[in-house]
Amino acid sequence: MSTPQVVVHSNADVLAAALAARLVTTLVDAQTAKGSASVVLTGGGVGIALLEQLRSSPACYAVDWSRVDVYFGDERFLPTGDPERNETQARLALLDHVGVDPERVFAMPASDGPDGDDPEAAARRYAAVLAGQAQPEDHGSVPRFDVLMLGMGGEGHVASIFPESPAVHETERSVVGVRGCPKPPPTRISLTLPAIRQAAQVWLCVAGEAKAAAVQLALEGAGEVALPAAGATGQRRTLWALDRSAAARLPRELLPPLS
């Protein structure tokens, strides 16, 4: 796995804009190399702001969005179109405006879908979707995503993998149903850490002083059971993209020049 790289931007708005530009470059490079690209989206303040920044940028159309596969790292298990769903927010922010192929947007199942209110069955359904998209060169049941983006909670959760939860101990399944989340809504679907670690690049996109302690712990070697973000690593790159507030507790040797 890759060694974490840290970049720091002055505030959350600059962070989102910088990540939007970085995502364009990453997707264009992937399409140039192999004809298509894949991205795993995240919700939250920075994740959705990034998509809004991307939509408003002329550089957005350097990407051929019809040749991008879109996945989600986790989802609130709510009905289709619920405004709290990551999918709904991502569609409003970007996906409905840039010509993505609807067949290449792999949304996680909703609670009014074929599995009803059973998140475990919905998780199995999404795991089957991932397995169906995986290629022989991926060497497993999860595609080698070009870039997988994650937010992080103040206690160190990523996707819907919370500290000390059953999901953080999962070593076999790629997707799990999550019940009893400490943040509402309590029922969710999430990629697992083994699935996250199949991505070529993992970006942890974190802003705010409330996240600073968890950022420090993750980058100073905390265990993933107590701090799941510490276990989110990419095959080629693990990028911690922070604003100045989120980086406030990092020791000087971990800090790059401010962007």
Q: What is the pLDDT of residues 161-217, one digit of tens each?
A: 999 999 999 999 999 999 999 989 999 999 999 999 999 999 999 999 999 999 999
Own/partner long-range contacts of 164-171 (Cβ < 8 Å, ≥24 apart): 164/225, 164/226, 167/192, 168/193, 168/224, 168/225, 168/228, 168/231, 169/225, 170/194
Of 236, 123, 235, the closest CA to residue 170 belongs to: 123
Calculate the alpha carbon distances from 177 to 92, 122, 145 in Å: 25, 7, 21
Each domain of the chain, given as residue ranges in start order, spans: 6-250
Torsion of CA 20, 73, 222, 7, to 10 degrees: 0
Calculate the alpha carbon distances from 8 to 18, 51, 227, 244 in Å: 10, 19, 21, 6
Residue 127 CA to residue 17 CA, distance in Å, equals 32
Q: Is the peptide bond before 185 cis (omega within 30 degrees of 0)?
A: yes
CATH, domain range 6-250: 3.40.50.1360
Of 55, 126, 43, the closest CA to residue 89 belongs to: 43
Percentage of the chain surpassing pLDDT 70?
99
Amino acid at 93: A
Q: What is the pLDDT of residues 218-235, one digit of tens each?
A: 999 999 999 999 999 999
For 70, the token pair is 């879109």
pLDDT at 105: 98
